[in-house]
Structures are given as C-alpha cells and as structure tokens.
Structure 1
Amino acid sequence: MEYGAVVTSSTATAQAWLDHHSRSLGLFIDGKFVCPADRQVRSLTDSKGGNVCSIVCAVEGDISQCASSAVIGFKAWSGLTCSQRAKVLLRLGSVLGQHGTCVSELCEVCEASCSPSNLVRLLQYYSSWAQLRDTLIANWTPLGVVAVVVSDDCSLYSLALKVLPALAMGNSVIVVPGQSTAPPALLLAQLFMAAGLPAGALNVLTGSDMSLGAKVAHNPTVFLLSLRVGAVDGVIEAAFKKKKEVHWVLYVQESVLDSVVARLRLRMVGMKCVGLLSAADRVLVDAAVQQAQQQGAVLIQSCTAPPSGAQYPPTVLCRCAPASPCVVSPSPGPLLPVLTFRSNTEAVILGNHSPHGQAASIWTEDLTLALETAKSLSVGSVWVNSCSLSDPCLPVSGHKDSGTCTDGGQEGLYQFLHPSSSSPLPRSSPLSMEYTKFGTEASPAIIPDESNLARWSYQQFVGGKACKADSGCSLAVQPPGGGGVLAYCSDGGRKDIRNAVEAAIKVQPGWMKKSPSARAQTVYSLAKGLEAQRLDIAASINIQTGLSVDEAQTEVELSITRLNDWAAYCDKVQGGTLPVPQSGSALSIPEALGVVGIVLPDRNPLLSMVTLLGAAIATGNAVVMVPSQKYPLPTLAFIQVLQSSDLPAGLVNVISGNRDQLTVALANHSVIKAIWYWGSAEGCQYLQYTCINPLKKLYLSCQKDKEGRDWTQSHPTLLEEMWRNAVQWKSVWIPTA
C-alpha cells in the first residue's frame, strides 16, 4: 500500500495568536506576560527561513524576579489540598480541549509537533496522581521550586512530561524552553492561568541559548532538573517523519538485508527534504555523510540534496562501521545509519556499544527472542514490533549518556519529592575551586618514632582477597581525640580503584541475573556473618569513634537488622505490568545500574556502610567502597565478614586511603555507572562538574559535623530512597493489534 496524499493543514488560529502578541513574545512571570523593552531578542524562523516570531532573552534581573514569584507561587500551590490541585489539572484538560487547535497549529508552525490529545492524556494521568499523592506516596514532600531546562530539539510533549508531574506533586516550576518549544510553552502557561493555577506556580523564561538554564540553576531557591535532549514503515516513521528527539540506528540481520534495503528505497520515493534547525547543522550533516562514505557506507537518498540551505533529504547510510561517528555521536538531520549482524548476541553487543541508551525497537516474529533481547539491551524503552509508542504510566530511565533521571509512572514522581523525615539539601552558591587540583594533595607522611612503630595494620579488599595498596604505602589512623597513631590502613590510589572495578565488572552481570530470592539468601548470610563477628566489630567501633561499648554493640545490632531488612527487600519490589490505553501489554522493570562507587559517611561508620552496601547489592549492583577517612576501622574490620561470606569474589571491594584522591579516581573511571558520595562541598561540586563524560548517576550529601542523616532511624522512606537510587527503569511495550 502506498502513502496517501499529504493534506496541507491550516495554521490560521496559531498565526492569529502570534499576531495578537505582535509576533513578539515576552517572558511569563507571576501569571502574566512580561515584555521588557530593553532586552535582547531572538528571532524564531521556520525551516524555509520565514519569520515566526521574536523571543525575549531573559537577564539576571528577570531570573531573580521569576524565582521570587515561584517561591510565592509554591506557597500558594502547595498549600492547596491534593483534591484542589487535581481539579486545576483536570480543568486545564477542558481548557486545552477548547484551545487544542491553537496549540496543535502553534506546535506545527514551530516544528515542535505535539498532539493535544497526548497532552490531555498527560493531564488526566497526573491529575489522578495529584489526587492520590498523600494516599499512595505518603511521607514524601514536594521539593519547592523546580527548574525544567530543555534543549532546542525537545518536543512540547517531553517538556510537559516534566512540568506536569512536578506540578502534580505540589512544586512550582520555572520552565526554560528550547528555541522551537518556547512559543507553545508560553501558550501552555497562559492556558494554565485560565484553568486556575496560582500566579507564580508556573513561569517561563526564554533566552538566546542553554546558558540561561545554568544561570537559573545557580539561584539558591531553585532545584534544577535538566532534559537532554510494519518494520520498514516503523523505521520510516521514526527516522524521517517526526521531529526527532531520538537519533536512530538500524541493525538488520544479514539474511534479510537486501529485502529491507529494497523496501526502504521504495518507501523513500517521493519523500521531500526535512528542515534543519540552522544552516550550521547542514555543514555537520554533510561532514557526517562524507565521512561515512569514506568508511564504506552506501548512500541512499529520497531526492537530490540542495546545494545549500537548512534542508536535507531523508538519507540511509547502509553498511556503516560500528565506530563511525554517525553511529556513535550522530549529527542533527534525517540520517539513518544501517549496520548488519549475524546472531542475536551480536546484535545486542552492537546495540550496547553506543554511548546512548534512550530507546530501542525490536522487529521479530519470535516473542521469546524479543523479550530476551529487550532485557539485554541497555536502553530505557523497548518497543516490540512497534515504534515510538508512549504513555505517562510507563517509567522510563535514560541509560548511559541519555540521562540519569526517571520520567513517567509513579517512579518518575520521586524526582520532585523528598522524604518528609529529612530536609532537602540547602542550595548554596558555587564554590570557587580549581578542579584540576582537587584530590592532588599528598597524604601526610608517617615519621617513625617509639610511639607508632608497632601498630595493627589493616589491608584493603579487592576481588575477594585482602591485599595491600599498589603503592605499598599506608595511612595513619588516629584515635578519637586526635594525636598519636591507633592503627595503619592501606593508602590506595587510582591503580587500586582500577583493579577493584575490573574485579567488579567481571562478576556484576552474573550477580544481576541471579533471582531475587537467591540474592536475598546471600545477603541473609552476610547478616549472619556480621552477627558472628559482632564482638570484634563492636570493639573496632568503640576504639575508633570513642563510643561506649554498649553504644557500639547497639550499632552492630542495628547493622545486623539493616542487612536483614535489605535481604527481605530483594524480592519485594520488582515492577510489573501497567494499564495502557492502547491494546497490548506494557512492563516496567527495575534494573541494576552496574558498578557503583560509594564514598562512605563519617557518622555511624558501620551502620551507614551496611545501609548503602545493602541497597547496592540487593538490587544487583557491584560495589567499590571508600571507607570514611576519619573512621575507617569499622569498615576495614568488616572485611573479615566479607571474606567468610558467600558473596561472589569481586562483588564488594574496599579501597582505603585519601578520600579526595579516591573520589577523583572513581569520577574518572568510565565503567563506574553511579557514585554515592558523603563528603565535602568541594567534593560534591567536583563530581557534578566531572561526571558528565561518560554520564554518571550521582547521589550526593555534603556532610557537616553533628549534622546530616540519622542512620539509626527506621523510617519507611529510608530504604525506599536508597533503593530508588540503586536502580534504573526500563519499559517494554508489546502491542497485540
């Protein structure tokens, strides 16, 4: 069957809305449009070079005004009952129905296509969560003011997928949209006000580039959340028909390659050029195509490329090399690289070779093979014999460089909440620091004298064995009051971290594939091992921290209980099936992150260690732990428990030494997927600055004397918060019709 004739749509309503604003859109602050006269403006053009409108570029004063309005808006919005917030969101659905034509047309004009029906579905879904927040998500509190920053290639739907759950949970929102999304975002804010949203609860700031988002993030009242940005028929629809937030790579089994390429050629006949964001993007596309051809790719185009301009024809690059830049780091534009494979295993290896992991589409007649492949792929969404289906009930985590947060479903709501039992970390101004010098200070020298020649020496733990640091050096551990030497511990470094990660990566895939009940039994055995060693471990706590013997024994008992809790938790939360409006089945699956680096807290050194360790291994991760530099002995004494346990060798590794130096080593290791850090403000900022290439999931806490988390608490949100930081989510959609 051939595609029908293209129907030319009218955009009269959207043009009238733009004319009403004199085609000059201002900022949206405190419930109304604000058009400062002395601001720089940015022109928005369509793919043919025609003028759409101009957009005001916000400055520091606008950010401060917006933040103040958002604080007031948060108080008013969060002060409403859950039912009242739900009614506002439902009312917006009605308002959107009345003005859906304007929204749809404006998205089309701005090339940020989004169906009003999809927005209405989002509103229906999140209004119900607003209604049930205190019932189904008890003991969690909204963060406050949330900033949602999106890139130029983000659709209005993806923007709404962040804004609506934040509002549903009771936060106020500052939106910093991309260039093409700015007009629809401003229109949506206007409709929100018509639905009864309090002034200041939703604000929109526009600017010349993404640096505006960074400036908003620096405001101390703001919590930042940033968005990154038949088989052949499905491929054509995904790769060329829609505005792309996902750059696709097509993997085809060699036995059917000729047939697939022939069908691609047929379906591409008559397809017109696709508009790019700018002429500069055209240069990048031309360079990517030329480089792919030089590496042996075969070029297939729907029509001849124009000599210049911000347009390019739909293009297939057949038989690309796996390491080709158009595969690993795709350029903007309608390019579809095609690679071949022989076996399913090879297909998974090639798919996981990419540094990105947002979504995958699997086309096969073998459902068992499809599910096995879906589970093996490191991506956030998998569609079976379908493509680009979406629904807000499905949780989706970006994998690898595609992001670290979870959107959609109940799981996606927790990024806008914090446990009621603890306060969120206060925002502070960025520290002035030289990142290249962080962690470069040498460890203090040990000068031998009569008082420290004979002291107990603790080793580190790598690959299931106690061992010395690669450097052969040691650090002196001081008693609670300072002065003198209590013991010595290994002074680990980059090579030790590398050895520990190599041991962890070998065993983690097998540990992750174990059944939850098998992991539970192993964690139970670890608790029994701690119980058998409780007197020795209590003595190490007593000697190291200065706690009384009774207090030290109490911490050991709490630690045994905490490990038993994690063992029981292993098979209790495992995702499930979700109701979706379309026919078919949808699965949500929590998965392990991989290798997690943990820099341990000073407070409650044993209890905090087993709490974090239990969260990581119970969910299928491997661990590289750095003990508290101030109180390392309880963790080092715990190595005896690890040696006698039946944990796989290499699953848990302990590297002692200078905290800052080891933090740098963890941050710069490409295999480590997440870092949990308790330490200085400089360390937190260093990790935020460094862990972006490759992207790591961060769980940070700036610890201060006599402050921070009370690890002895048994509040139900404690385990839940740790568990949610230890997993990433995958959704699998299997249509039946």
Structure 2
Amino acid sequence: VMADSNKKVFDIFQSMEEGPSAASSAASAWLDHHSRSLGLFMDGKFVRPAGRQNISLSDSKGAKLCSIVCAEDEDISQCASSAASGYTSWSGLTCSQRSKVLLRLVGVLGLHGQCLSELCALSEASCSPSALVRLLQYYSSWAQLRDTLIPSWTSVGVVVVVSSDDCSLYSLMLKVLPAVAMGNSVIVVPGRSAAPPVLLLAQLFSGAGLPAGTLNILTGSDVTLGAKVSQNASVSYITYTGNKQDGLTLCKAAAGAGLPVSVSQCIGATCPFIIFESADIDSAVDEVIQIAFKKKKEVHWVLCVQESVAESLAARLKLRMASMKCVPLNSEGDRVLVEAAVKEAQQQGATLIQPCSAGPSVTQYPPTVLCGAAPSSPYVVSPPPGPLLPLLTFRSNTEAVALGNHSPHGHAASIWTEDLTLALETAKSLSVGLVWVNSSCVSDPCLPLHIYISDFMQGLYQFLRPSWSPVRPRSAPVAMDYSKFGTEPTQAVIPDDHRSVFNSFLQFVGGKACKSVSGCSVAVQAPGGGNVLGFCPDGGRKDVRNAVEAAIKAQPGWMKKSPSARAQSLYSLAKGLESKKKDVSASVSTQLGVSVEEADKEVELSVARLNVWAAYCDKLQGGSLPMPQSGAALSFPEALGVVGIILPDKYPLLSMVTVLGAAIATGNAVVMVPSQRFPLPALAFIQVLQSSDLPAGLVNIITGNPELLTVALANHSVIKAIWYWGRAEGCQYLQYSCTSPLKTLRLFCQKDEEASDAGADWTRTDASLLEDLWRNAVQWKSVWIPSA
C-alpha cells in the first residue's frame, strides 16, 4: 500500500486496478473448525459417514479450499427420513410460528454475514448477505400470510432442490427459501461452488431454531445425485436451477420417479441487450462494460444495436475498453473455445474490438467485441465461456424483436431507449420472462429471474398443492424402450359398405371436420366391451402436424384479442353447447352407459364451467410489483402458445371443456386427444365448435391411439406444454423425451386417478381447482422500469 501512496486519483481511475483482497479470517476459521472437510447436513447436524469418496474444492486462486463428501445410497435414505420427520415438525407449526423462525434467521445472518461473504468469495458462489437478508424478510412475510392470501392450498411435502456446479448461492436460495416458507422440508443437492456456503447456512438456520430435518444438505460428484434422491418414496417434488445440460440430464434420470420435476435455466442463457437510436448511448455503453466482461457471469449477452447508431456506439466501446486488461478464465479449456469462436467470427467477416492482444497466459483473454456477427453463428446462439460480446445490428423495431427472439432462451433482456412506448411494446413482444428497461441485472424476490417458466407470487405455487388434491402414491420407473413407445399399430378398420349402418364420426382440424390422413378408422365400443357404437378416425403423426400448423396460425391473433373479446367467444361457446344439449347429452349417455339424467347433469356442469372461464378472461391480469427501490415493476400473464392435451377417461365432456376453457381463456391454442375409451362426447362437441366464432385452428381434436399421438406431440418443437392423463409409461416417456426443447409438463397417471377417485374433482366448484389450471396455462413476464 505504501508503494502506491504516490498514485493520483486520476491514475487509479485510468487503470481501475483492484485493491488488495479482503482477509478471509472468519471463513478460514470456520473451515479449519471442520478440518477443511465438510460433511453432510441432516437432522440438524453435520454427519461425516466413514468410507465415502471425497471431492476437493479450490478457491478463486486455484488453491485447495476444502473437501466435500460424495453421498451414497445409505446417506440418501437417512437424509430422506430426516426430511420426512422435519416436514412433520415444520408443517405442524402455524404460519405465524414459521414466520417468526425465518425472521430470527435475519438476525443470525447479520451476526455471521462476514463469514458467509468471505466463504462465497472463496468458493465463487456469488451472493451478498444483504441479498439473503432481503430474501428472508420477503419470504418470512409470505410464510405469515400463506393461509390468509393463499387459502385452500397446502405444502407438498419433502422438496428436493438441485443446482449445477456453476450456480450461484443466490439462485439456489431463490428455490430453497420459498419452499421452506410454504411449510415444506427441503433436501438441497448443491453444485460444487455453492456447497460450502449452503452448508454454513444450514448450520446457522439450525442454530436459529429451524426444526431438525427441515433443511438438509447432500453433496456429491454431479447432478445425478439429485435423480437418486428423487427415487426415494418420501420425496414429493424436485426442482432444478442451473445450466441447461445438467437440467436435461436430471429430467432424463428422474423420468418415471412419479413426481413433478421443474427446471429453471439460470446459467448459460443467451440474453439480448437491445440499444435503440433513442437511447442514452453513453449510459448503455457503461452498462455493457459492467455486465459483459465479468470473470464469472450467469448469462451470455448479445448486443443488438440499431444501425443508425452502431458506428458511434462501436467507437465509444473502443474508447472505453482501451485501458481494460485481460479477464481471467475459469479453465485452460475455455481459452481454446474462446479462440476458436474468435477465429470463426473473423472468417465470417466480423471485426474485433480488443483493448490488447491475447497474452501468453492460457487462463486469460482480453475483453472482445465481435462486430458484424451473424444471428445464426454458433458463437451467437451458444457463446463459449469467456469475455466475448457479439454485436448485431438491426434497422426496425420489428427486426430488433426478431433478433431478441432468435434463440429460445426465455430468460431476460435489457432494452435501452428514452421512448417508453417503444420500450413497453418491445418488452411485450420479447419471449423472455424478465425485461429491464434502461438497466440490467436488477434482482429482488419480487422480480425473480425464472418467472417466465414459474408463476406469479414468485414461484410459491410450485411448492403448494390444492388442499383437496390427494397425495399421489409414488411409482417406480418402468423398464421401457423409449424408441418403441407408441409404435404398436392400432387395430384399425378400413370403412366399407357393409358397415355403413354404423355411425362414422369425424375429427376436427383447422376448423373443419375431417377424416384422418390415413383414412383409417377404429371401432368405438359400448362400456364393458359391448356393441360397436360407431367408428372414429385413427389419427397419426401427420394429423398432429396439420393440427399444430393450424394452431400456430390461429394462436397469435387469438392471443392479441382483448380479454373481453375472448370472454364473449367463450360465452358464445357455452351458449352453443346449451343449444345442443340434447345431442351432446345423448352421446354422453350412450358412451358411458349412464342415465339421461346423469348425462344432462354433466352437460349442465360443462356449460357452467365454460361460463366461469369466460368470466375469468378479464379478471386476472397481473399488476404492479412492490419493489423496494425507486421505479415501476409490472407483471402480467402471457399465453404459453400451443398446448397438447391428452384427456382423461372420467367425465369425458366435463374434463374436456374444463381444460379447454383454461387453455383458450388465457390465449393458447390446443391440440386435444380425447379418451380412447370414451371419445364420443368430444366428437359430439365438434358440432358446437363448428357453430362457434372461435378462429379456425384454435381448437383441434384428434382421435386415435393416445400413445402414438403422445409421441407425435412430444416430438413437435412448436408444442410448448403437454397436459397428460394416461398410463404410467406415458408419463415416464414424456419426462424423458420432452427435453429438446424443454416443455412444460402436467402429468397424471390414469391408474392413480382411478384408485384415488380423483376424477370426481372435475365436478368441484372450489376456486383452487380453476386457479390451479389457470396458473398452469400461463407464463409470467415482469418489466422493471427505473425512475432515476
């Protein structure tokens, strides 16, 4: 320090050298107390099982930090038992009692914040104690208000939270704390960087009064440990946050475990940084420099600049970067990837902005802007790790949105313009969950990073279930060949003249009643395998393809309609069903073998359900978020897109209109597959659709082998979500296959439904039934607009 005492302030700002690193005495003392060997945390204490493999962790400078234990099957069983016991204790407390415990954690964190901060810095799991304090304060209040503001919902049970090795502690705690606040116990399977600080937090939480077993930590060599934990019968839900590849690995490994799996990609996403000509260019350049060239960053930025200011912005970038130095890389292998990307960019005609040449060190590389990049270039779509910033240009607002949506990331975007109308229109059009206007990387639990694939109220509902919903029994994975699922041929029948006495039904695609592309039909039998009631089309992959193409054309226009216009269309649909009550009721009675009175009751319930969904259209539309800093934060629901639905056997008409209403009321288009056993009510409903004013292609109904049609829906890249009622094999297939691209799944095993009589829930009038469906039919977008 004395040697630098003669430096002037101007010199320091010119070089922007980092000061001496802060001491890590508190973190080192804690690690030394544990002999630099961290065990597992379960039942409120550290456990160090003998004979386990250990993994060595390094600090930010490459020196050995500590070692962690690789959990084995025996440890998983013990941890799950601890979590189940902890859930009994924690969920048994009142909302007020749980809230007081979480608030006590704020004080504990204040006492030991220095140790946590040092440990996060050493392990490169970025998270400030103040950010965690904000999380604790926020979710402690939700713990207090759960039964008041979220009535008729209860905790799901034991939740497994898994993260990748490169995930920050903050992103991990964004899943852990809401799960705990809602009354669940949690098993955390952290990545390597977050393991030491999350173990420290578990110890602090236990000391603050969190019941033993409520928070448990299992460490291991890779993300497959999370899949092993999910196989335990005590686990009710598994959620993942981190990079995409580990998330897909977890989905495939956990397929067939019989529990929901949610994935939030917070690492490696490609996010657009859009600068319009109306922006404050200097401020935008300052922000780009701050976020694009960090040593360790969770997202990759792509700079999109309007052509009229591209040259001026490039000149300012070059000036601002002139005094910058090489940025450390995470590994030697990253240098190879970065150099290959730069070489490819130059071969494609891109020019470089670099403050200096690449030095001899294989673990460093200079900040680099790749000007004139092509949107389809690999280094733009999937950038390598390192200080690279592709720069693309656009001419119009429409082209800017097209560039921003070029890669299906669904994460975040930053928009720079002084025109508020332009900012809001662009934010509305971008397929991302979080948009910062004239700012970036603003984080708060009110504004979670994963809201596009989560839900309103900050992901709380994923850790809750309706109180009336039975706990589904777990099932073991089925040994199956995924390549052969859905390939068994249907015993189709070619229509001929001597069977013309039977009814021949049509399916509904693109607004028209039609035969299947194959021209084949299948027989529909009376209940119990009795007489043949008629023949319905045997749909296949080409029918699904045609239906999806029609849905793609209809959905954008339907989504842009005002909520009141969609409501009127649904009211009209309900009126049309009521006018054809006699015909539809006859199909229900004939198909199910029930009395006319029972069939009339199901039709009446269906009419009422459509009216309820019509009323929903313009009632739940989001609003402002209570941010703790100056500015405005808006949140609003958006349609998923095209939804594939495989319908249940029970209440074939009522269940169909219930899920149909949820989907189209929120702006989605649907491709529905009726029950193979009881398709006639759905086919009779086609008459109602034909006389409605719904856009052609918005609703499509395809009959046939549900397994074959499930495969076709799963493999179609345009389908955004699949709601499935069917066999356990179908649920397992969808969890394993719907990963590229990742689809939102809502799965119900038909066998479980029959065993628990869950089909009776279709007749319920509880608000939580419709709310659960509605929240699964939308994705939420947040927009942050700073006021200063």
Following superposition, the deviation at residue 213 of structure 1 comes to 1.5
**Correspondence for 2:373:** 320
**Correspondence for 2:561:** 514
Report SS of the residue matched to 2:519: coil
Following superposition, the deviation at residue 7 of structure 1 comes to 3.0
Report SS of the residue matched to 1:551: helix
Structure-1 separation of matches of 2:339 and 2:556: 40
- Using the size of structure 1 for normalisation, the TM-score is 0.96
**Correspondence for 1:32:** 45
Question: Structure 1 residues 156, 411: closer, same or farther in 2, change over 3 A?
Answer: closer
Question: Structure 1 residues 448, 133: closer, same or farther in 2, change over 3 A?
Answer: closer
Following superposition, the deviation at residue 453 of structure 1 comes to 4.9
Structure 1 contact 327–354 (Cα < 8 Å) conserved: no
Is 1:423 paired with 2:435? no
Following superposition, the deviation at residue 637 of structure 1 comes to 0.7
**Correspondence for 1:134:** 147
Q: Deviations over 1:420-451 (max 9, x none)?
A: 01123332221111100000000014388999
Following superposition, the deviation at residue 311 of structure 1 comes to 3.6
Following superposition, the deviation at residue 625 of structure 1 comes to 0.6
Q: Deviations over 1:486-529 (max 9, x none)?
A: 11111111111111111111111111111111110010000000
Structure 2 contact 567–615 (Cα < 8 Å) conserved: yes
Following superposition, the deviation at residue 293 of structure 1 comes to 2.6
Residue of 324, 331, 336 corresponding to 2:389 = 336
**Correspondence for 2:776:** 725
Structure-1 separation of matches of 2:160 and 2:664: 33
Following superposition, the deviation at residue 588 of structure 1 comes to 0.7
Following superposition, the deviation at residue 394 of structure 1 comes to 2.6
Following superposition, the deviation at residue 411 of structure 1 comes to 4.5
**Correspondence for 1:264:** 317
Structure 2 contact 42–217 (Cα < 8 Å) conserved: yes
Residue of 729, 732, 740 corresponding to 1:693 = 740
Amino acid at match of 1:61: E
Structure-2 separation of matches of 1:218 and 1:483: 41
Is 1:582 paired with 2:616? no
Residue of 460, 463, 469 corresponding to 2:516 = 469
**Correspondence for 1:532:** 579
Report SS of the residue matched to 2:759: coil
Amino acid at match of 1:506: K
Structure 2 contact 524–533 (Cα < 8 Å) conserved: yes
Structure-2 separation of matches of 1:67 and 1:374: 43
Q: Deviations over 1:91-144 (max 9, x none)?
A: 111111111111111111111221111110110000000001111111101011
Amino acid at match of 1:52: L
Question: Pairwise mapping of residues 5-16 of structure 1 onto structure 2 (< 5 A)?
Answer: 5-10=17-22, 11-16=24-29
Structure 1 contact 44–54 (Cα < 8 Å) conserved: yes
Question: Structure 1 residues 450, 510: closer, same or farther in 2, change over 3 A?
Answer: closer
Question: Structure 1 residues 475, 109: closer, same or farther in 2, change over 3 A?
Answer: same
Paired residue total = 731
Amino acid at match of 1:362: I
Instruction: Compare 31-40 and 680-689 and name the one that shifted more.
Output: 31-40
Structure 1 contact 459–489 (Cα < 8 Å) conserved: yes
Q: Which consecutive residues of structure 1, in runs of 5 or more, have no partner in the other structure?
A: none
Is 1:566 paired with 2:578? no
Report SS of the residue matched to 1:673: strand
Amino acid at match of 1:664: V
Structure-1 separation of matches of 2:153 and 2:520: 46
Structure-2 separation of matches of 1:309 and 1:180: 22
Residue of 213, 221, 225 corresponding to 2:234 = 221
Residue of 711, 728, 745 corresponding to 1:681 = 728
Structure 2 contact 495–520 (Cα < 8 Å) conserved: no
Report SS of the residue matched to 1:251: strand
Q: CA RMSD in A?
A: 1.8
**Correspondence for 1:21:** 34
Following superposition, the deviation at residue 334 of structure 1 comes to 2.4
**Correspondence for 1:405:** 454
**Correspondence for 1:162:** 175
Amino acid at match of 2:693: D
Following superposition, the deviation at residue 40 of structure 1 comes to 1.3
Is 1:53 paired with 2:66? yes
Q: Deviations over 1:540-572 (max 9, x none)?
A: 001111111100000000000000000000111
Following superposition, the deviation at residue 17 of structure 1 comes to 1.9
Structure-1 separation of matches of 2:356 and 2:79: 48
Residue of 114, 126, 143 corresponding to 1:101 = 114
**Correspondence for 2:263:** none
Structure-2 separation of matches of 1:156 and 1:311: 25
Structure 2 contact 630–787 (Cα < 8 Å) conserved: yes
Q: Which consecutive residues of structure 2, in runs of 5 or more, have no partner in the other structure?
A: 1-9, 244-282
Q: Deviations over 1:595-643 (max 9, x none)?
A: 0011111000000000000000000001111111110000011000000
Report SS of the residue matched to 2:46: strand
The percent of aligned pairs where both chains have the same amino acid is: 72
Report SS of the residue matched to 1:165: helix
Amino acid at match of 2:289: I
- Using the size of structure 2 for normalisation, the TM-score is 0.90
Structure-2 separation of matches of 1:302 and 1:98: 43
Amino acid at match of 2:758: G
Structure-2 separation of matches of 1:709 and 1:481: 19
Question: Pairwise mapping of residues 220-259 of structure 1 onto structure 2 (< 5 A)?
Answer: 220-222=233-235, 223-229=237-243, 230-241=283-294, 243-259=296-312
Structure 2 contact 293–387 (Cα < 8 Å) conserved: yes
Report SS of the residue matched to 2:100: helix
Structure 2 contact 445–458 (Cα < 8 Å) conserved: no
Report SS of the residue matched to 2:546: helix
Structure-2 separation of matches of 1:585 and 1:448: 63
Residue of 590, 602, 611 corresponding to 2:658 = 611
**Correspondence for 1:436:** 483
**Correspondence for 1:74:** 87
Following superposition, the deviation at residue 652 of structure 1 comes to 0.5
Q: Deviations over 1:341-388 (max 9, x none)?
A: 111100101111112120000001111000000000000100000000
Question: Structure 1 residues 306, 12: closer, same or farther in 2, change over 3 A?
Answer: farther
Structure-1 separation of matches of 2:355 and 2:89: 54
Structure-1 separation of matches of 2:498 and 2:601: 32
**Correspondence for 2:441:** 388
Structure 1 contact 47–276 (Cα < 8 Å) conserved: no
Structure 2 contact 185–213 (Cα < 8 Å) conserved: yes
Following superposition, the deviation at residue 168 of structure 1 comes to 0.2
Following superposition, the deviation at residue 267 of structure 1 comes to 2.8
Structure 1 contact 397–728 (Cα < 8 Å) conserved: no
Structure 1 contact 457–487 (Cα < 8 Å) conserved: yes
Structure-2 separation of matches of 1:311 and 1:202: 39
Instruction: Compare 322-331 and 648-657 and name the one that shifted more.
Output: 322-331
Is 1:504 paired with 2:557? no
Structure 1 contact 397–730 (Cα < 8 Å) conserved: no
Following superposition, the deviation at residue 308 of structure 1 comes to 5.3
**Correspondence for 2:640:** 593
Structure-2 separation of matches of 1:194 and 1:733: 37
Q: Deviations over 1:429-480 (max 9, x none)?
A: 2111110000000001438899955211111111111111111111111111
Following superposition, the deviation at residue 305 of structure 1 comes to 3.0
Following superposition, the deviation at residue 264 of structure 1 comes to 2.1
**Correspondence for 2:407:** 354
Structure-2 separation of matches of 1:146 and 1:303: 49
Residue of 750, 753, 758 corresponding to 1:708 = 758
Instruction: Compare 202-211 and 47-56 and name the one that shifted more.
Output: 47-56
Structure-1 separation of matches of 2:644 and 2:713: 6
Structure-1 separation of matches of 2:528 and 2:497: 20
Structure 1 contact 56–206 (Cα < 8 Å) conserved: yes
